[in-house]
Amino acid sequence: MTTQDLHHTLLDSLTFASARAQAEALAAGRVSAVDLLEHVLARISRFDNDLNAVVARDDEASRAAAREADAALARGERRPLLGVPITVKESFDVAGYVTSSGNPDYANNVAEQDSPAVAALRGAGAVIVGKSNVPLALADLQSYNAIYGVSNNPWDTTRTPGGSSGGSAAALAAGYVALELGTDIGGSIRIPAHFNGVYGHKPTAGLVALRGTGVPSGRLADRDLAVAGPLARTASDLGLALDLLLNLEPLAAKAWKATLPPARHTRLSDFRVLVIDQWPGSERSLHEALVVERVVERLRTQGVKVTRPPELPQGLLPDLAQSHRVYRSLLGSSLATPPALSKSAQKRLEALSPDDDSADAAWLRAPTLRHSEWLKDNERRVALRHQWERFFEHFDVVVTPVAPLPAFRHNHAEPKDERTYPVAFENGTREVRFLDLFHWAGLPVLPGLPATSFPVGLDEAGLPVSAQAVGPYLEDRTTIAFAELLEQVYGGFIAPPGFGGSSPA
């Protein structure tokens, strides 16, 4: 084998490697940042006509950054991501790139500086390759818009990679980059991670700076419920990235900083786990059953104590259905300028009974919620956080599905709130509403809890399936460690067929 062949083999071995492993290879001089970047650019050119995951690039700026990384490495500098290529969700400001959130009204909105989160990753040495696709206004479980077009899932291009961080998850699964930056308010990190078989972490609310995300630019106040966080092909990289993303708000840094507690346990067998596979009032889907039973089997094999909801003392587990009503209310009222209701939704709103306390009613009323009613729901949110804190005196993590189905086929019907999706149940397949796909994703969002989405293999159709681990407030390291311990025993990310490369390191 020639020297050139050996070099190509090394680059191929890094295709699906972790960001940590890529950084180690760069630091050891086994590969240069320039060569690793060119390898990434070649893969994007080869595969992205079909995927359309990375929708904005500046190759010359990326090459300049890679050359700077090589010079720094040669000087003996060592940073956590020095020379590692990454992409970031389109809605993050990256100096010199457009930030549009898929909205044509902002197609020329070029950012003057990096958002704090992007700046932190760049400061750690990451080479920004480009931006990944999103849905219009980040408001869908699919990633398509009038500026950049439709993104496809590398496991099946007739299916969506998810949203709103859909391009992010697809770029990871396709072996373009090892680390991505996304946002999550309704599962927008965790559902794309699930649909593509990668890892995603929704941090505790308020930990990661959201400044410099979305449009219009220049907003100082964060959108309620929203968080920013990492996606990766290994659980370990989630922890690496989270450490870099903490304490980025300059005003707060004058007086305090977050110091997260360590993971509660270092052995799987020490974890106390509650598993939930059926949403209250809903039938369990075959997908939900598959995901949770697979996790339960693995946990019990490792000696983990697994508990089901019927075994709990009455009142210990928060009321999930009532919590979801409050989640819908605060989610729907989280935009300063919400989109207009469709005609059918407006008719349903007008027909609501004053005493209708359902989640659907909360969603319809949310855009025009009186501030006094918002304050009541906010109090319920804070009370719920305290209730979960009492719950986690008895348990370490709650494991649930991420969604009731795997990646679904593209469906761009409007209005999206009236779309339905085929979901398999024990007695047959039924259409499920768009709004009913968010129960599991919303569970940790309202109380602001950390949640880590982790892959657990493939289903019978060969599509990735994932579960999520929800943990105590500010104990992000516990859910990431739980996912990492499972990964060490059972593996995690699997490369989609046809994309080549070796297994992750």
% the chain with pLDDT above 90: 89
Helix axes 476-490, 286-301, angle to 10 degrees: 80
Which uninterrupted H or E stretch holds 429? strand 428-433
Task: Look at strands 272-275 and 199-202 and give their pairing.
Answer: unpaired
Specify the pLDDT at position 393. 98
pTM tops 0.95: yes
- Cβ-count burial 384-419 (b if 16+ within 10 Å, e if not): bbebbeebbeebbbbbbbbbbbbbbeeeeeeebeeb
When pLDDT is averaged across residues 132-151 and rounded to a whole number, the result is 98
pLDDT of residue 340: 83
Arithmetic mean of pLDDT over the chain? 96
Taking residues 437-464, report their average pLDDT. 98
> Residue 28 — φ and ψ, nearest 5°?
-80, -5
For residue 414, give every residue at least 6 positions away whose Cβ sits within 8 Å of its Cβ, in sequence order, or none: none
At residue 338 the predicted structure's pLDDT band, cuts being 50, 70 and 90, is confident
Q: What is the pLDDT of residue 503?
A: 41
Mean per-residue pLDDT, 93-107: 98
Transcribe 221-254 into DSSP letters: SPPTT-EEEEEESSHHHHHHHHHHHBS--HHHHT
30-51 per-position pLDDT tens digit:
999 999 999 999 999 999 999 9
Mean pLDDT, rounded, for 439-449: 98
What would the pLDDT profile of 314-332 be if each residue is shown by its tens digit?
999 999 999 999 999 999 9
Amino acid identity at 332: G
Residue 173's nearest CA partner among 409, 426, 458 is 458
Q: What is the pLDDT of residues 295-314, one digit of tens each?
A: 999 999 999 999 999 999 99
How many residues does this entry show for the chain?
505
Peptide bond into 401 cis (omega under 30): no
Q: Per mean pLDDT, which range of 133-137, 145-149, 251-255, 293-297 is the poorest?
A: 251-255
Question: CB count, 10 Å around CB of 469?
Answer: 27
Nearest-CA neighbor of 179 among 61, 30, 43, 16? 16
Mean pLDDT of 60-71: 98
* Alpha-carbon 466 to chain mean position: 12
Q: Is 425 exposed, middle or buried (0-12, 13-18, 19+ CB in 10 A)?
A: middle
Mean pLDDT (whole number) for 373-393? 98
Task: Give dist(CA 249, CA 21) in Å, integer.
Answer: 29
Query: What is residue 271's DSSP assignment?
Result: -
> What is the 3 state secondary structure string of 91-157?
CECCCCCECCCCCHHHCCCECCCCCHHHHHHHHCCCEEEEEECCCHHHCCCCCEECCCEECCECCEC
Mean pLDDT of 424-428: 97
Q: How confident is the model at residue 341 (pLDDT cuts 50, 70, 90)?
A: confident
Closest CA to 228 of 286, 262, 189: 189
Using the predicted structure, report yes or no on whether residue 226 has a pLDDT greater than 50: yes
Cβ contact 504:491 at 8 Å: no
Please check whether residue 90 is in contact with residue 131, taking contact to mean a CB–CB distance below 8 angstroms. yes
- For position 66, what pLDDT does the model report? 98
Angle between helix axes 59-74 and 33-51 (nearest 10 degrees) is 150
- Identify the residue whose tokens are 């080479």: 127
Question: Residues 381-399: what's their mean pLDDT?
Answer: 98
Q: Give residue 501's pLDDT.
A: 52
What is the percent of the chain where pLDDT is above 70? 99
pLDDT per residue as tens digits for the range 282-294: 999 999 999 999 9
Q: Please report which confidence band the pLDDT of residue 505 belongs to, taking 50, 70 and 90 as the band edges.
A: very low
Q: Is the dihedral of CA 99, 100, 106, 107 positive or negative?
A: positive
- E strand or H helix at 389: helix 371-391
Mean pLDDT over residues 358-381, rounded?
94
Query: What is the Cα–Cα distance from 367 to 492, expressed in whole angstroms?
Result: 40
